Amino acid sequence: MRYRKLNTLIFAIAASLCIISCKKDDESKVTPSLKGTLSFTASIPEYVLPNTTVTLTPAGVEHPDGEELGYYWKVTPTRPKADTTRYQNGLDKQGNPSDGSFTFTFSDTLQTCTITGYAFAKGYTYSSKSVDCTVVEGGIDRSITNLNLNGKPSITVDGIQYPYVTIGGLDWLCRNISDKSAGAAYKNSEVMSDVFGRYYSFEEAQTICPEGWRLPTDAEWSAAAEEYDNNIAALMGNAYFNGNLMWEYWPAVGEITNASGLSMIPAGYAMLSGKASDGSYPNAQFQGNNQYAIFWTADTAEEEGMAYYRYIICDQPEFMLGKGDITSFGATVRCVR
């Protein structure tokens, strides 16, 4: 019995020593990291038009011993294989000096691509950075689809087509205004202007409608909703953005019918945060995408500096009334005549 206990003790000690030894071996095999964090010398737009070409140049990473680095790149889902732009000798595939820059032309497929750059060196863990970029296209049945706008009467302003429907004796535009002379594009990406429409302050909204058209009053918004028994689903367009459903289904709202033809999309709103001297809003913050559809009315509120807007939120069945600051709150605009 004592012999068995002694053997068990010896085995346990040996096992413990083996574990400690293995841990030391594992620790000694940890691959060191490169110095710094990979970055790009120029930012890539979050949204681009089809066939746009971009160039990314790597920066921010150094070899701990001052040696050269190599760089390679992947683009998903369009390029499953890596594209090496510089080897560790500092040369490209043709043997020319290279800074590792990567040039890529997006296709005409409306989708989100992820571009990932890698810095590498023998004996070190690579450093990587990824950026997403979405290919979009304005107009009817391009990035925004499933609204059945083709065949409706329309007007064309600055090359942009705006279908309209008639409700209660008024013509209503079925798309958000995208006049670039004012307001802000979604995430300050100008290519999104004719996709979601632009976000205007109340002061801008009062003059942004095309000639012969104007902002609807709150009473006119209310009357349009009453034409469809205040059924919010009749005002909402069951839209897709680049193939992704925009309005989430909520039982309180029910199935979206867009019976009115107004085709409201949840483009959200903007906190404009001050206008620059060139009329832009460089610090604008965009919120509520895929949740809110918000439109200015023509009515000011009782409080000085405030005006009313009408809005839909994805999970509520009411056509709601809100109010925002006339200079810093940004909402989309529909026009009537």
pLDDT digits (tens, 9 = 90+) for 92-149: 999 999 999 999 999 999 999 999 999 999 999 999 999 999 999 999 999 999 999 9
φ and ψ of 11, to 5 deg: -65, -40
Yes or no: say if 243 and 153 are a contact pair by the CB < 8 Å rule.
no
Strand-strand pairing, 70-76 and 112-120: antiparallel
- The reported pLDDT for the residue numbered 10 is 41
Asked whether the bond before 77 is cis by omega within 30 degrees of 0, the reply is yes
Give the whole-number percent of the chain exceeding pLDDT 70: 92
Residue 332, amino acid: T
Sheet with 244-245, strands from edge to edge, namely: 144-145, 240-241, 244-245
**pLDDT (tens digit per residue) in 162-207:** 999 999 999 999 999 999 999 999 999 999 999 999 999 999 999 9
3-state secondary structure of 192: helix
Q: In the prediction, which pLDDT does 188 show?
A: 95
User: SS3 of 225, please?
Assistant: helix
pTM attached to this predicted model: 0.88
Average per-residue pLDDT in the chain?
92
Q: What is residue 1's predicted lDDT score, i.e. its pLDDT?
A: 44
Report the alpha-carbon distance of residue 6 to residue 78 in Å, rounded.
64
Question: How far is 274 from 265, CA to CA, in rounded Å?
Answer: 26
* Full set of structural domains in the chain with CATH: 35-135 (2.60.40.10), 145-330 (no CATH)
Query: How many residues belong to the chain?
Result: 337
